Amino acid sequence: MNNYMRLEIPAKSTNEAFARMAVGAFVSQTDPTIEELSDIKTAVSEGVTNAIIHGYENMSGVVSIVCRIDEDMLEIVITDFGVGIENIEKAREPLYTSKPDEERSGMGFTVMETFMDDLLVESKLSEGTKITMRKRLKSR
Amino acid sequence: MKIRLEYASGTLIAKIKGEIDHHTSNELRTVLDKEIMEKSIKNLVLDFDKVTFMDSSGIGVIVGRYKKIDALGGQLMIIRAKGQVDKVLKLSGIKKILKCREEVSINE
Ligand SMILES: Nc1ncnc2c1ncn2[C@@H]1O[C@H](COP(=O)(O)OP(=O)(O)OP(=O)(O)O)[C@@H](O)[C@H]1O
Ligand SMILES: [Mg+2]
């Protein structure tokens, strides 16, 4: 199968559930296993939540989500045009969070890395952040 | 997400239904903290039987409540987590610091 979808949503926390469900519905065409589907939805939830709370610091902004399916390969790109990440390596460390006072656990990137096959993080200060996640769908 | 609260001698059982993410975790945190503060709760049981989704925002809420309950000398227990929710709990490492069971049993 060869397919893609592009979704643009305002950075509102109600859209976190919408985004993961929309991606889930799109990916469902490939007949994934229940576990693959929940892994993908969890990773999307982490990426979109990060864009909202870190990228835009709960202010207004646009989050873009692009999904591509190329045979058995799924690629999800989540982009924000917010504050950006100063030190990507540090941000990706398990348990690192810049907002410990808000009870964040610093597990978002670890979840994305674990639940998907690979994760690429590109970011520029005051320009934004783009994360690219890939997963090979084994069920087909 | 919906929360139903039940009490059993100093223990608060919070039966949660639905999805726990950044959007819904704020309400969960507020509701639990209000009960812990106002009802002199010692132990907290989070019943995840009907939780269908949780991400790292949920981990943050659990760890935060664990610190509060632990400081008060009580126990926090998670029961009946399954599937995706259990996978996120395992990855977070909190299964090592607090009790996770199929059913309730405090001070066994
Ligand atoms: N889109 C983004 N824009 C700016 N900074 C980001 C973005 N995504 C992540 N970060 C930075 O990377 C850190 C680590 O992100 P990660 O998702 O692993 O943890 P967290 O969001 O702080 O906590 P959790 O995801 O467990 O609630 C964040 O604390 C933040 O500083
Ligand atoms: Mg995060």
Q: Identity (one letter) of the amino acid at B95?
A: K
Is A64 an 8 Å CB contact of chain B?
Answer: no
Crossing angle for the helix pair B83-92 and A34-50, nearest 10 degrees?
A: 60
Beta carbons of A46 and A113 less than 8 angstroms apart: no
> What DSSP state is assigned to residue A104?
-
DSSP H helical ranges for chain A: 14-27, 34-50, 88-92, 108-115
H or E element, residue A79: strand A73-80
- pLDDT tens digits for B63-104? 999 999 999 999 999 999 999 999 999 999 998 888 777 766
Give the pairing type, strands B43-54 and B76-79.
Answer: parallel
- Nearest by CB to B63, from A34, A105, A110: name it: A105
Q: Which of B22, B55, B60 sits opposite A42 (nearest CB)?
A: B55
Give the DSSP letter of residue A51: I
Ligand 1, from A42, A45, A65, A97: best to mutate by most atoms within 8 Å of Cβ? A97
Supply the residues of A annotated as catalytic: 46, 50, 104
**Parallel, antiparallel, or unpaired: how do β-strands B76-79 and B99-101 relate?**
parallel
Q: Is the pLDDT of residue B27 over 50?
A: yes
Domain covering A3-136 assigned CATH 2.40.110.10 in the classification: no
Quote the ligand 1 centre to A91 CA distance (angstroms).
7
What percentage of residues in chain A have a pLDDT greater than 70? Answer: 99
Question: Percentage of chain B surpassing pLDDT 90?
Answer: 81
Alpha carbon of A98 to those of A47, A64, A78, A124, B9: distances in Å?
16, 23, 20, 17, 39
Q: Do B53 and A13 touch (CB under 8 A)?
A: no
Query: CA-CA-CA-CA torsion for B84, B77, B50, A10, nearest 10 degrees?
Result: -60
B49 in Cβ contact with B71 (< 8 Å): no
Structural domains in chain B plus CATH codes: 2-101 (3.30.750.24)
Q: What is the pLDDT of residue B108?
A: 42
Question: Ligand 1 centre from A26 Cα, in Å?
Answer: 26
ipTM over 0.90 threshold: yes
Average the pLDDT over A103-109 and give the result.
96
Asked if the Cβ–Cβ distance from B21 to A42 is below 8 Å, we say: no
Atom 13 (ligand 1) nearest CA = A91
Confidence of residue A71 (pLDDT cuts 50, 70, 90): very high
Q: Is A41 on the interface with B (CB under 8 A)?
A: yes
**What's the pLDDT tens digit per position in A53-62?**
999 999 999 9
